[in-house]
Amino acid sequence: MKTFGMLFVSLFFLFLFQGTASAVLGVDDNVPGQDVLFPVICGVTAPLNTSWAISDVMGGATDLMGNAARAEVMLYNTRGNAIFDYIAAWTPYDVVTGNCKSLIQQLSSSSKAAVKKTIDGADYYVGFLAFFQEQNFSEDPSVRDRFTGWITLRKNETDAGLKPFQAEQGLAMSDYNPPYDRHPFAENGSGEVPVPVTAKSLILRFSIDNAASKNWWIVLTGVQSSTSPGLTRMVRLNGLVCDENENCLSVALPVADLLNFYNVSDYVPAGLFPGGFPKRGFAKFDLVVSETDALGHNTIYTPSDISTFAWSYVDSCILPLPVPFKVQPKVCLRESLSIFPADRIYVPLLY
């Protein structure tokens, strides 16, 4: 039995690492992908901006224009409605760059309104971008997994890196040739659904140094609360918020949209930190869906086939503005930015 177990483990790792650009489908591995997905945010007047650099790391054959690959880039608002699209092209080993504020300048007034959100008292343009690879001029199918991305949130002169999702075999499987359904969380034209990046639990960090510090949890998931004829769906993140001394309290976060920004201060129980600042710890959440049909029948379940991504954004105020008052203003002389992808407890999938 022990010999069989060692043989199984050896074969598993041989399968897992047989290629340098391959990993387990359904897991958010840091390897090149066919398509790329990530959230974007920029201030209407605030200095916060998102920039991206998407690189072709495979090279290979080109078309008559010298391009090795092309992708349709689609901007969605937080509800998942397509707002804007354009075509990007890569020569071999090329890097395509962009940023949120430059992208917003290309939108109409109505499209700008569709991506405008108020977060923590300030107005931002918010959404998510999907790079759908639509042409790949190599005859080798494995070269489709050719994109690697670097995403940066910048505020003033301070940067923080955000890890995008690089989807092996694409955000919609099987139907490589257009037309796609062109949505990262929907079926494609042939009825196939994307491989879900599933997790039993999401584990998010928070670190609030003072009243001027800003913490967000950013959650992008394939299901949202909605009301339609005959069905009401309520989605939430249920779990625990814990300090660093093993004390935890229950918390529920509403999942109103596909893309959600949570001001962490609104969800950290005051009872965990009776002494005030700093407030540091982590949260562990499970995605829970409650559906009620027209007859009033209610079903509650934890989905195992919904892709969910999350990040912790920390804007730490290092030197608050000194004033002769006891109340600390939300103004900062010097700050630092950081972004932590959520740790995950994965659910194994059987196909």
Query: Which tens digits make up the pLDDT trace of 261-273?
Result: 999 999 999 899 9
pLDDT at 251: 96
Looking at residue 251, its amino acid is: V
Q: Could you check whether the bond before residue 179 is cis, i.e. omega within 30 degrees of 0?
A: yes
Buried b (16+ CB within 10 A) or exposed e, 257-281: bbbbbbebbebbeeebbeeeeebeb
pLDDT at 6: 40
Residue 20 reports pLDDT greater than 70 = no
| Class of residue 106 by CB neighbours under 10 A (exposed 0-12, middle 13-18, buried 19+) | exposed
Residue 332 reports pLDDT greater than 80 = no
* 20 CB neighbour count, 10 Å cutoff: 7
> Could you tell me the pLDDT band of residue 141, with boundaries at 50, 70 and 90?
low
Contact 257, 115 (CB under 8 A): no
Residue 342 reports pLDDT greater than 50 = yes
Residue whose structure tokens are 């562990």: 284
Q: Which residue, 212, 72, 200, 70, is CA-closest to 138?
A: 70
327 against 126, higher pLDDT: 126
Average pLDDT (142-162) is: 90
Of 129-138, 175-184, 292-301, the range with the lowest mean pLDDT is 175-184
Distance in angstroms (rounded) separating the CA atoms of residues 124 and 116: 6
pLDDT in tens, 182-213: 678 765 545 555 666 767 789 999 999 998 89
Average pLDDT (300-322) is: 84
Average pLDDT (52-75) is: 90
Contacts 24+ apart (CB under 8 A), 264-268: 264/206, 264/208, 264/215, 264/216, 264/217, 264/312, 265/208, 265/215, 267/217, 267/241, 268/206, 268/208, 268/241
Average pLDDT over the chain reads: 83
For residue 104 the two structure tokens come to: 């917003």
Four-residue CA torsion sign, 104, 53, 312, 304: positive
pLDDT at 171: 79
pLDDT at 334: 81
Cα dist. 184→31, 160, 320 in Å? 18, 25, 41
The verdict on pTM exceeding 0.75 is: yes
Cα dist. 84→49, 130, 142, 274 in Å? 18, 11, 29, 47
Average pLDDT (238-249) is: 95
Looking at residue 108, its amino acid is: S
> Could you tell me the pLDDT band of residue 153, with boundaries at 50, 70 and 90?
very high
Distance in angstroms (rounded) separating the CA atoms of residues 72 and 87: 5
Q: Phi and psi at residue 147, in whole multiples of 5°?
A: -105, 135
